[in-house]
Amino acid sequence: MKQKTKISDVLKENDQTRRNKKYNDYVKDVTPTHNILINLVNAYWVGGLICVLGQFFINWFMSMGLDKETAGAYNVLVLVLLSVILTGFQLYPKLAKLGGAGTVVPITGFANSVAASAIEFKKEGQVFGIGCKIFTIAGPVILYGIFSSWVLGLIYWIIKVV
C-alpha cells in the first residue's frame, strides 16, 4: 500500500512539473519582447516632439502679445485639450504604444489618463460611470502629489524656522 502511495505521489509531481513547464513555455511565447534601446529612442523623440509642440504654442501665444506666464497657462490648456481629443479618437493610445514614457510624463499623459477613464466608464452613466471612475488612474497621482508637496513644504518650513 505504501508503495502505491509513493508511485501516485511521483506521478502527481511529474504531472505538476509538466504542467508548470507547459505554462512557463506558454508565458514565454506570448510575452512580448522589447528592445530597450529602441524604446528609449522612441520615448525620447515622442516626448521631445510633445515638448517642441508645447514650445511652439508658447512662442505663438507670446507673439500674440501675451506675457510668458499667461502663454504658459494657455499652452497647458491647449496641450490638455489636444490630448483629450486624441484620446477620444483613439489616437493617443497608439502614440503611447509607440512612445511609451515619452507620452506618459508630460501633462498630456495625465490628461489622457483622465479622459481614457471617462471614456471607458461612460456606458455606466454620468454619475456612477464618469463621475465615480474619472480619476481611477489619475486620483492616486493627485493624492500623492498633494501629500508629498505638503510634506516637502513642512520640511522647508521647519528648516526655515530653525
Percentage of the chain beyond pLDDT 70 is 91
How is residue 130 annotated by DSSP?
Answer: I
Q: Annotate 63-75 with DSSP letters as a single string.
A: HTT--HHHHHHHH
pLDDT in tens, 5-22: 566 666 677 778 888 888
CA-CA distance, 15 to 156, in Å (whole number)?
61
Q: How far is CA 87 from CA 44, 46, 103, 111, 121, in A?
A: 21, 16, 12, 9, 14
Question: Residue 125: pLDDT band by 50, 70, 90 thresholds?
Answer: confident
DSSP class of residue 131 equals: I
Q: Residue 1 pLDDT more than 60?
A: no
Q: How confident is the model at residue 4 (pLDDT cuts 50, 70, 90)?
A: low
Indicate the pTM of the whole model: 0.64
